[in-house]
Amino acid sequence: MKVQREKRFALLMAARDSEYVKKVYGGYFNVFIEALADEGEKWDLFRVVEREFPNMDDLQNYEGFVISGSPYDAYGDEYWILELCFLLQTLFAMQKKVLGICFGHQVLCRALGGKVGKAYSGWDIGIRKVSFTEDFSFYGYVDDSSYEVPPTLSIIECHQDEVCELPVGAQVLACSDKTGVEMFRFGDNILGIQGHPEYTKDILDNLIDRLVSNDSIEKGFAEEAKLKLIKAEPDRKYWERICKSFLKGRWITQSPTYFS
């Protein structure tokens, strides 16, 4: 009898845990596990922001990798960011599945030949509706081909940088009235999402407070963002399904279709 190998995934953590997230959620790793992990999988944590990287000889043992958000700029030249870019280039050459979230979305773009910079329209904080392009098609997670995704979904956003130019050969899968590249793919193994599928409104609410306290945003802007946060809800379950489908299910992007 053939014994099925345990599927392994790795979270490349590009941010340090806030005291609030540690207290309420046990750290960002647990937030990602809650959103993306399934029973029977092994997820490893590598704090790349602390220069903790997976062993190069061990990369082949992973099904997929997820890069978290970060307060750092994806176009920065901190040594760990340059080391992360090299790792992502290696994973791309190995055709490993890599999912980038926010900073992860941006640093994937940079590592593979695109350009990232400050957003011309400034900070985007809150819940934003994004629209899928005709290049986006989605077939359900594992064997559920009947699962449909609406043509627009709402997602939590918190960023002041954005993808300015995609790598040659990459495709835009979603955009919004604020950001031109909300989601992109490069081949069948690279997926970037500008928003935060893993965030709860509670996490963003606390993050807004921290951005005010360190003078990153003005109090009036924060109050307006919080007010809008009360009135809207992110489509977290849809986004989680999309991320899971890409990492470990059927992700088919030929023959684009639209969803009702």
Active site residues: 102, 196, 198
Q: How many CB atoms lie within 10 A of CB 42?
A: 13
Between CA 132 and CA 151 the distance in angstroms is 6
Q: Per this entry, what is the length of the chain?
A: 260
Distance CA 21, CA 43 (A): 19
CB 138 within 8 A of CB 93: no
**φ/ψ (deg, to 5) at 237:** -65, -40
Q: Are 191 and 183 in contact (CB under 8 A)?
A: yes
Structure tokens at 50: 């602390």
Cα separation, 105 vs 11, whole angstroms: 14
Contact present, 122 and 128 (Cβ < 8 Å) = no
203 contacts: CB under 8 Å, gap ≥ 6: 21, 25, 31
Place of tokens 């909300």: 182
Separation between Cα atoms, residue 186 and residue 211, nearest integer Å: 32
Evaluate the CA torsion angle 64, 253, 144, 34 in order and state its sign.
Answer: positive
- Return the ∠ at Cα 227 (arms to 226 and 231), rounded to 5°: 110
